[in-house]
Amino acid sequence: MSWVKEGELSFWERFCANIIKAGPMPKHIAFIMDGNRRYAKKCQVERQEGHSQGFNKLAETLRWCLNLGILEVTVYAFSIENFKRSKSEVDGLMDLAREKFSRLMEEHDVSESLLDKCLYTNHSPHPDILIRTSGEVRLSDFLLWQTSHSCLVFQPVLWPEYTFWNLCEAILQFQMNHSMLQKARDVYAEERKRQQLERDQAAVTEQLLQEGLPASGDPQLRRTRLHKLSARREERVQGFLQALELKRADWLAHLGTAST
């Protein structure tokens, strides 16, 4: 990527970077790059110039992230906001419905982790931090699902004026929140697992009763049945995800040829 700015950090920047890196570091940062238009107004230049500066700032910020060892960045180019929710966000769910109809999956195979894998961000981990500049304190429909347990950082600085120190400040905030967020995520995941187990247990009980066997009989039998239930579900889900992956690859290839 030749447009990512060349350059290393200054002495003080390197010094602070080394201090910050002593703590937990985010692996994936999401930015809502807001403030280009207000910057242009403030500096009394054309709006286009504001966006151009915004783009330069993006190139610079990516360089800083690289210097800090942050290898994954997702950005929201905030020039036009679709007031209605974009249809593409529900496309993943549409695929689900279609496949269910062709009996690749049972409807109870639909779970939170499956929905995660159906979204177009499925190859990325959830962002650790979501940074929004220009002082606005809302999400504007950006990665709502993926940032439910991310550290939200709202900074008043306008995007074209973003500095390395602003980035450090955001990461410091992440570090302050790190253990609390980790705990909240763990509690949430535990509860999801517990509920899934409960549902599976109920399904096994029903299965046994239908076969005329005692519901609370042989624990070994229950364990085997439980294992079989989840293994079969895993198979169905994998089959579905593979089909989805192929379909996506096809669609992307089609996009590529359509534009030539």
Partner 1 sequence: MTGLYELVWRVLHALLCLHRTLTSWLRVRFGTWNWIWRRCCRAASAAVLAPLGFTLRKPPAVGRNRRHHRHPRAGPAPAAAHRRLRWRADGRSLEKLPVHMGLVITEEEQEPSFSDIASLVVWCMAVGISYISVYDHQVLNCQSSVKVLSPEDGKADIVRAAQDFCQLVAQQQKKSTDLDVDMLDSLLSSNGFPDPDLVLKFGPVDSTLGFLPWHIRLTEIISLPSHLNISYEDFFSALRQYAACEQRLGK
Which residues here bind partner 1, judged by CB under 8 A? 18-23, 78-85, 87, 89-90, 93-94, 96-98, 100-101, 107-108, 110-112, 115, 135-141, 144-145, 147-157, 163, 165-166, 169, 172-173, 175-177, 180-181, 184, 187-188, 191-192
* Minimum distance, C-beta of residue 3 to partner 1, in the bound complex (Å): 25
The CB-of-98 to partner 1 minimum distance in angstroms stands at 4
What gap in Å lies between CA 22 and CA 16, rounded to an integer?
A: 10
Taking the least distance from each CB to partner 1, the nearer of 143 and 208 is: 143
Tell me the closest approach of the beta carbon of residue 15 to partner 1, in angstroms.
Answer: 8
Report the residue number, 47 or 223, with the smaller CB distance to partner 1.
47
Inter-residue contact 130 to 152 (CB < 8 Å): yes
> Would you list the DSSP string of the chain?
-TTSPP----HHHHHHHHHHTTS---SEEEEEE--HHHHHHHHT--HHHHHHHHHHHHHHHHHHHHHTT--EEEEEETT---SSPPTHHHHHHHHHHHHHHTTSS-GGG--HHHHHHHSTTTTSPPPSEEEE-TT----TTSSTTTTTTSEEEE--S-GGG--HHHHHHHHHHHHHHHHHHHHHHHHHHHHHHHHHHHHHHHHHHHHHHHTT--TTS-HHHHHHHHHHHHHHHHHHHHHHHHHHHHHHHHHHHHHHHHH-
**In terms of CB distance, is 43 or 110 closer to partner 1?**
110
Q: Which is nearer to partner 1, 196 or 207 (CB)?
A: 196
Cβ closer to partner 1: 156 or 217?
156
Question: Do residues 240 and 104 make contact, with C-beta atoms less than 8 angstroms apart?
Answer: yes
Q: What's the min distance (Å) between Cβ of 130 and partner 1?
A: 9
Tokens of 222: 């229950």
Residue 138 vs 228, nearer CB to partner 1: 138
Work out how close the CB of 238 gets to partner 1 at its nearest, in angstroms, rounded to a whole number.
Answer: 18
CB of 12 to partner 1, least distance (A): 9
Least distance between partner 1 and beta carbon 146 (Å): 9
60/136 with CB nearer partner 1: 136
